Structure 1
Amino acid sequence: MSFRRIYGVADTTFSRVNMGELAVKVIKKEDPEGEVRRYTVPGIKDLPVAAKRLIESGCHGVITLGWVGRTQLDKYSYLAASIGLITVQLMTSTHVIDVTVHEDEAEDEERLKEIALDRTRKHSVNLVKLVRDGWKALTPLAGKGLRQGYEHAGEID
């Protein structure tokens, strides 16, 4: 009997790009034998409980997909959500990859969409590597200047 890997995808209705749908597609492509469970909540402050519930339902790793507005209040909300996601990881000893797009990352909406899709795609692959291949899976990539949402920065020799 083989081990069935279960991935969690938590996204929000506040996001302006359907990152959850993309994450599910990428995870299924990278690990066709895995199962994906999706949980959609209103906003980023709801992501920690969604991640925790996904883990409690059997998920071996979770990707959270959030969108942060431009105001200072939005940034404080993200800080609270980020602390919550870190707490979930520590409580459960399970990876929760926080993928967040901040509206002030780009003025152009098309560029914001590109950032969201690239970041989602790359981190979905990272989640699969961690869950399927184990805790050493990303070690060969350490120090490579890899970026999500942007072109890779590259190594400094």
Structure 2
Amino acid sequence: MDRIGVVDTMFARVDMGSIAERRLAGMEGFGARFKVVRRTVPGFKDLAVAARQLIERENCEVVIACGMPGGAELDQVCAHEAAQGIMLAQVLTGKHILEVFVHAQEEPDPARLTELCRHRVGSHALNAYWLLYAPEELRKRAGQGIRQGGPDAGPLPGA
């Protein structure tokens, strides 16, 4: 049975890991095709090692790494460093780790920020499922300007 990893943080102001778990639980084949393995770490700089451990120790085929950087400039620098670590973990393991960051300054209204989290995390959970079981769904959407968490940009004219 395949395993999909979900790692989230205590620092986030929304329970992003539970959003991913609920979205995956609604997928066809849940329980028969795959199991969700979840870990929670203190902050987003801890995501890369936890994701790598889920792949190497728990045999996860793909990992969804969720974090919520704060709005300060220092938080943005740290988010960039965390993203670099996640990319390195992908290269070292040869497995996809979908980085799902929702930056606090993306939406000043708390209710809308929560909704942004739900949409972005849920969309990436679907992407993780498609990577494993329906890669043709991703291919159908190539070049369409599809965004996770905001309005789609759409394709360029004549593209």
TM-score (norm 2): 0.92
Taking the aligned partners of 2:151 and 2:111, their CA distance within structure 1 comes to 16
Query: Which residue does the alignment assign to 1:84?
Result: 85
Equivalent positions of 1:8-157 (< 5 A) are: 8-30=5-27, 31-32=29-30, 33=32, 34-56=34-56, 57-134=58-135, 136-157=136-157
- Could you list the runs of 5+ residues in structure 1 that have no partner in the other structure? none
- Structure 1: which amino acid aligns with 2:18? E
Check conservation: 1:28, 1:35, Cα contact below 8 A.
no
Runs of 4+ in 1 over 6 A off after TM superposition: none
Check conservation: 1:27, 1:125, Cα contact below 8 A.
yes
How many residues align? The count is 153
- Structure 1: which amino acid aligns with 2:39? Y
- Structure 2: which amino acid aligns with 1:45? K
How big is the shift at 1:19? Answer: 1.1
Taking the aligned partners of 1:132 and 1:8, their CA distance within structure 2 comes to 15
Taking the aligned partners of 1:156 and 1:47, their CA distance within structure 2 comes to 34
TM-score (norm 1): 0.93
Check conservation: 1:9, 1:23, Cα contact below 8 A.
yes
How big is the shift at 1:39? Answer: 0.4
Identity %: 38
How big is the shift at 1:107? Answer: 1.2
SS in 1 for 2:40: strand
Taking the aligned partners of 2:26 and 2:131, their CA distance within structure 1 comes to 15
